Chain A
Amino acid sequence: IAGITQAPTSQILAAGRRMTLRCTQDMRHNAMYWYRQDLGLGLRLIHYSNTAGTTGKGEVPDGYSVSRANTDDFPLTLASAVPSQTSVYFCASSARGGNTDTQYFGPGTRLTVL
């Protein structure tokens, strides 16, 4: 069982380019999340989805979009990357959204925007 996979592992991107970070889980979890982690700051929620077909905005959604066409996949898109989006991005999932279920994390994507 892979759990949660993310791709790519790392990426260097020119400012202004479009980029999609991929996230797939095989645990049949209903809820999925995207976080960014920056040095000296806690994980910050970008977007979430409590179930397939629904999405919601987190703490820092500007400049990012998501879709949830099915249970397993939750891609994160940067429409026009800016240097402030340089970060480590983690995808997570939990059995149920809107609940106290434990969140499980993917290995992360290191993104550098130049």
Chain B
Amino acid sequence: GQNIDQPTEMTATEGAIVQINCTYQTSGFNGLFWYQQHAGEAPTFLSYNVLDGLEEKGRFSSFLSRSKGYSYLLLKELQMKDSASYLCAVMDSNYQLIWGAGTKLIIKP
């Protein structure tokens, strides 16, 4: 079956760096997406990786290793507004997104 694994919850301190991991097993691979979802709101797009390596976008970076079925989202200079759930999703061979359950990130002052 298809499976996306990510930690349920993480805690970090304002101003610090946090890495959220995602491992996947899917039928085919057409890219990996990261979304941010604040409580009670819709998911919003953060990043897309289809080739191995690191994609940097401001304070957020996303890494992909296709051979290991592994990705991480790196958040630098954490701000209180970064408190949210972070969703990892893989696009399978049918171009459908398979979603992880999300990682709830709690930022403490």
Contact = CB atoms under 8 A, between A and B. Distances in A.
Nearest to B48: A102
Interface residues of A, number: 21
Contact of A100 (B48, B99, B100, B101): B48
What size tier do the contact residues of chain B reach? 20 to 34
Q: Which of A42, A99, A102 has the most CB of B within 10 A?
A: A42
A110 to B, nearest CB: 9
B89 to A, nearest CB: 8
A71 B73 CA distance: 34
A42 B42 contact: no
Contacts of B102: 42
A106 B42 contact: yes
A107 interface: yes
A63 B46 CA distance: 32
Contacts of B42: 90, 105-108
B43 A42 contact: no
Interface of B: 4, 30-31, 33, 41-45, 48, 50, 87, 89, 91, 95-102
Interface of A: 40-45, 48, 58-59, 90, 97-100, 102-108
